[in-house]
Amino acid sequence: MRDGRYCLPVKSAQELGSGRCHDIWIRATLFIEPAAVVSLNNELRELQLSEQEEIKKILKELSEKVYEYIGTIVQDF
């Protein structure tokens, strides 16, 4: 994985084929994202962002429910 995207390590630019280069390691290995998986990587990223938004939403709702009892919580503390 490079930059959160699935990539393949290749030894030289000649093996690159069609795809995007995401990283170079010690000037010998290129990490490419094959053109065939670009849309899948994009979809995965969108799903990850949606998941994070849902987590934020749930945490906000839980925080609001806990806040209803803030007086009791402070008193017990």
Distance CA 55, CA 70 (A): 22
Q: What per-residue confidence (pLDDT) applies to 7?
A: 77
This prediction has a pTM of 0.62
Token pair of 19, please?
């795809």
Please report, in tens digits, the pLDDT of each residue of the chain (77 residues total).
767 777 777 776 555 556 666 655 667 777 778 888 888 889 999 999 999 999 999 999 999 999 999 999 889 98
CA atoms within 13 Å, Cβ hemisphere of 10:
18
